[in-house]
Amino acid sequence: MSRIGKNPISIPGQVSVSFDEDARVVRVKGPKGELERKVRPEVAVAVADGEVRVSIASRGVLARALWGTTASHIRNMIKGVTQGWSKVLEVHGVGYRAEVAGNALKLLVGYSHPVLLPVPQGVSVSVEKNVITISGIDKEAVGQFAAQVRKVRKPEPYKGKGIRYQGEYIRMKEGKKGA
């Protein structure tokens, strides 16, 4: 039994949730925007009395695994359209910079060329000094783009140069010892 899946999900006043049985799509609409997500046939979703209930539609290990996952996705959608999601990254290194250029993030992180990353739809990026803030209503899109930005120049373990999440601890190594 899923501890996450069995709890009903309450719907705040300014949010509307609908489930289309035929298309198997959950739609969440709120003050910040609208999100939709397909739901697997192994899971049943019911919207009634200001709450969403997720249950198992078929027996099996896959259905039990998807039960809590689906409930968490719906909770994240509701939080996204009310509060939004954001990730903060820090750029460390001499001469390392980031800037927003049109609909792309331009990173100057020690390569011979600037790295341009197109910003996905529904995600906004702001840069202030060496801090990159990625925000949006879709948790998955925000997290995926943040991971993509970090991957351009991961923090290296000797000097700690690179792009890291705010508050991320980088385990430092000792350099070579002299003879």
Could you read off the pLDDT tens digit of each residue along the chain, which spans 179 residues? 678 888 999 999 999 999 999 999 999 999 999 999 999 999 999 999 999 999 998 888 999 999 999 999 999 999 999 999 999 999 999 999 999 999 999 999 999 999 999 999 999 999 999 999 999 999 999 999 999 999 999 999 999 999 999 999 999 999 888 66
Give the N- to C-terminal CA distance of the chain in Å, as an integer.
61
CA angle 139, 143, 148 (to 5 degrees): 150
Coarse DSSP helix, strand, coil percentages of the chain, rounded to the nearest 5 percent: 20, 40, 40
Domains and CATH numbers, the chain: 9-83 (3.90.930.12), 85-165 (3.90.930.12)
Longest Cα separation, the chain? 74
Structure tokens at 133: 């803030």
In this prediction the pTM is 0.91
Strand pairing report for 131-136 and 123-128: antiparallel
Measured distance CA(174)–CA(163) in Å, rounded: 20
